[in-house]
Amino acid sequence: MLQLYIGNKNYSSWSLRPWLLMKHAGIGFEERLLRLSWDDESPFKKTLMSLAPSGRVPLLVDDGFAIWDSLAIAEYLAERFAEKHLWPVDAKARARARSLCAEMHAGFAELRNTFGMNIEAHLPEVGERMLRENAGAARDVKRIDAMWNEALAASGGPFLFGEFSVADAYFAPVCTRIRTFALPVGAEAGAYVKRILTLPAFREWETAALAEHDFLIEDEPYRPRPT
C-alpha cells in the first residue's frame, strides 16, 4: 500500500494537498503522521532523511520508492491512477490547471509566510493588521481572488476546473487561510472556499487537526503559547 508521510494537520499546508487529493479520489494509502520539527536530531527529520534526501513532508512511498514534493506526488498519482482523472480531461484546461498549481508552488511567498495555515485558530484581527502592513500579502490575496474567479467562470464550477482536481487540492490550504484570517475575497471565491471546506475529505482532516492540541511556536508568531 502507498504510504504518505505528513506533518501536523493543523499546520502542514503542503501535507494537506496530496492527502486531500488521495482521500477525495478514493486512493487507498497508509498515513504516517510525524510531529513537525526542524531539529536535525528529531524523529521527524531522522525518519524522513532515512527515506529521502529532502527531509520534508509530504513524502509518498510506493513499494519502497520515495516521491517527495507535493507537485511531484500529484503528477505521480495522476499517472499511476489515470482512471481517476486527477487533472482535467481537456488539454487546455489541464494546462491551465498545471499553470495555476505551478504559480502556487513557486509563488505567493508573502501570502504563505504571512498567513500560515492554522486550522484551529480564528484570527481576523491579525489578518486585517497584516494586510495593512504587508502590501505583498494584500497583492497575493487579490491575485488568488482573480485567479479563482477566472477559472470558475470558465469552467462553470463547482470546482476550479469543473470536477475536483489537483488544482483544488493545491489551493485547499489557501481556503483555510482565508477562513482563519478572514481575508477579503469576492462572493464567487468565498462560495468556492465554503465548498472546499465542507468536502467530507477536508472535514476528516479538520477533525483530526482540531484533536491534535499541539502548539508549534515557529508556526504561531502572532500569539503566545496557550496556558
Q: Give the domain range for residue 44.
A: 2-84
Determine the 3-state secondary structure of 24 from DSSP.
helix
pTM over 0.85: yes
Q: Which residues pair with 66 in a beta bridge?
A: 61
Q: How far is CA 189 from CA 112, 113, 122, 212, 215, in A?
A: 18, 21, 19, 29, 30
For every one of its 227 residues, what pLDDT tens digit does the chain have, with 9 covering 90 and above? 999 999 999 999 999 999 999 999 999 999 999 999 989 999 999 999 999 999 999 999 999 999 999 999 999 999 999 999 999 999 999 999 999 999 999 999 999 999 999 999 999 999 999 999 999 999 999 999 999 999 999 999 999 999 999 999 999 999 999 999 999 999 999 999 999 999 999 999 999 999 999 999 889 888 887 76
User: Taking the alpha carbons of 80, 150, 107, 187 in that order, is the dihedral positive or negative?
Assistant: negative
Task: Give the CATH number, domain containing residue 201.
Answer: 1.20.1050.10
pLDDT of residue 16: 98
Q: Give helix 200-210 / helix 187-197 axis angle, nearest 10°.
A: 70
Q: Tell me if 222 is assigned to some domain.
A: no
| DSSP string across 157-208 | SSBTTBS--HHHHHHHHHHHHHHHHT----HHHHHHHHHHHTSHHHHHHHHH
Q: How far is CA 36 from CA 18, 31, 174, 208, 224, in A?
A: 17, 15, 20, 15, 19
- Phi-psi group of 83: left, alpha or beta (phi > 0 → left; psi -120 to 50 → alpha; rest → beta): alpha
Same-domain check for residues 115 and 36:
no
Distance separating alpha carbons of residues 157 and 225, to the nearest angstrom:
40
Same-domain check for residues 111 and 179:
yes
pLDDT of residue 222: 84
Q: Tell me if 221 is assigned to some domain.
A: no
User: Domain total for the chain?
Assistant: 2
pLDDT of residue 218: 87
* Residue 23: how many other CB atoms lie within 10 Å: 20
Distance separating alpha carbons of residues 216 and 121, to the nearest angstrom:
13
pLDDT of residue 225: 78
For 201, residues 6+ apart whose C-beta sits below 8 A from its C-beta are 20, 23, 24
Amino acid (one-letter) located at 140 = D
Q: Tell me if 213 is assigned to some domain.
A: no
pLDDT of residue 227: 67
Same-domain check for residues 195 and 130:
yes
Same-domain check for residues 106 and 201:
yes
Cα 84 to chain centroid distance, Å, stands at 20
Q: Tell me if 17 is assigned to some domain.
A: yes
Return contacts of 90-94, CB within 8 angstroms, 24+ apart: 93/154, 93/155, 93/161, 93/162
pLDDT of residue 38: 87
C-alpha cell at position 77: 498519482
Q: Tell me if 220 is assigned to some domain.
A: no
